[in-house]
Amino acid sequence: MAGIQNAGDFELIKAELITSSGMVIDLSDSIINITFFEDTGMTAVTGNLLVQDAAGLSSIGPIIGQEYLKLKIKTPTLTDEDQIIDYTENVLIVNSLDGRKEVSDKVQVYALHFTTSELVINQRTKVSRSLKGSYSDIVKIMLGEVNCKKKVYVEPTSGNKRIVAPNVRPFDIIKMATKEAVSKFFSNSSYLFFETLKGYHFRSIASLYGQPSKQEYTSYIKGTGTNKGGSEDVQRELGNILDFEIVDSGDTLVNYTTGVYASNLIVHDIFSKSYKKYQYGIFNNFRKEKHITSHHKPDDFPIFSHLAVDDKGRTVEDFPARTFVTSASIGSGFDAQHTTENNTSPYTPPNAQDWLQSRTSQLIQLEQGLVSNILTHGNTIVSAGDIVKLDIPYNASFKTTKNEKNDRFFKGMFFVKRLRHDFDFTNKKHQTLMTLVKDSIEDSLDGPEDNFEPKPKKSATFYEEIEDFYPNL
């Protein structure tokens, strides 16, 4: 294929299956569909491959769910290795075969489910030893345990740690490090660990939010995206939203009970037999954190109203409905629980006050913030963890005085939380379904200062006499 002619074009360069018997099977002419899943909440890329088999390969191979899969797919005209799906060296592992059924005489269809090799090695590996260094150093050690040979983006973390791995899997240790890690570059940060088609990522949400936009997405009437000669404007069509849905705009009950708005933390120092209390408030801490809009606009604001909710002037952050309790052996600023062979204490304690409350609030906002799903023409440039620009047109019968052209909340920069690539070989089309989320907006949610919950002045009326409950007595 000389170049991309239409949005959604793709080119399959290689599709080979290496069976447990050593047989190499070319699947290029047998594939019906390939699907890849990327998710910033998952530790590995997964997917499935739908195969039409007229040669009885599942029996001859045999195909039993222990195969190696070599795949290479690209968007035509893209030559950068980061823009090509290439699993010819770091092969995929087929972990199961299911859904096998006969669709016509001597022709059967089945699905091969695959994942990356690191996840498979992780499931069969246990670590039982002491680990020292920063959390980012420990993550690199654990990726070595799963024989990772890919590109790895590891944002350096602060502090010198010592942990004892009690016969657990490497990714379990990385998950623990992810919860407690604090960036060396920006102290108030929360980490994610995930894999995309481009490699592994152990990095802060702040660093992900700070990336430039990979693609702009909006929607327009079909047929208007053409050049003067009548041919399709491929670049514009790649940014066309084929379908979308608004998934979530937050849940007040969830935000109260989980600590998004506010929370208390009690840290018990078992070394000095003392404790300290810390309070988190979404508005008081907002400027100390890094949110998505702050990297791309001069001003950013919470997606929650900061106005009073009662006649006492209290806002949503004045009700810390969740309390965290944790313990640590802090000593004089060091981790008194771990020492070296020379009886020195160079290790830093967990310091939950630096990450626990802020991380809880930010991660729930990734699930309960401004969330939308969009379906677009696919390309191999955008991955989970990237930033894209979204402009969903304002949809109303009447225009406001500001004459907005785009939805107030679902515009601007969004974080790609998860992504699904679908390569349809029947129609020769590549489509991408993305879940996008943001945790801040460009304009403050203002309103009248006395817009709190209307309540009657009188007190509640209680009924507690016997005739109120047993009127026939």
> Got the DSSP string for 397-456?
SS--TT--SEEEEEEEEEEEEEEEEEEETTTTEEEEEEEEEES-BSS-----TT------
Mean pLDDT score of the chain: 88
Q: Name the fold adopted by 11-116.
A: Thrombin, subunit H (2.40.10)
Side chain identity at residue 433, one-letter code = L
Contact status, residue 268 vs residue 326, Cβ threshold 8 Å: yes
Digit-coded pLDDT (tens) for 81-102: 888 999 999 999 999 998 888 8
pTM of the model: 0.90
For residues 105 and 469, the model is more confident at 469
Contact status, residue 367 vs residue 380, Cβ threshold 8 Å: no
Contact status, residue 335 vs residue 347, Cβ threshold 8 Å: yes
Range 368-396 average pLDDT = 89
Best CA proximity match to 40, nearest among 172, 205, 171? 205
Kindly state the tokens that stand for 93: 């592992």
Kindly state the tokens that stand for 456: 């009657």
Asked if residue 3 has pLDDT above 70, the reply is no
Which sign does the torsion angle of CA 182, 184, 189, 191 carry?
negative
Q: What is the DSSP letter of 285?
A: T
Please report which confidence band the pLDDT of residue 250 belongs to, taking 50, 70 and 90 as the band edges: confident
Q: How far apart are CA 311 and CA 316, in angstroms?
A: 13
Digit-coded pLDDT (tens) for 131-170: 999 999 999 999 999 999 999 999 999 999 988 999 999 9
Digit-coded pLDDT (tens) for 288-310: 888 999 889 888 899 999 889 88
Segments making up each domain of the chain, as ranges: 11-116, 253-364
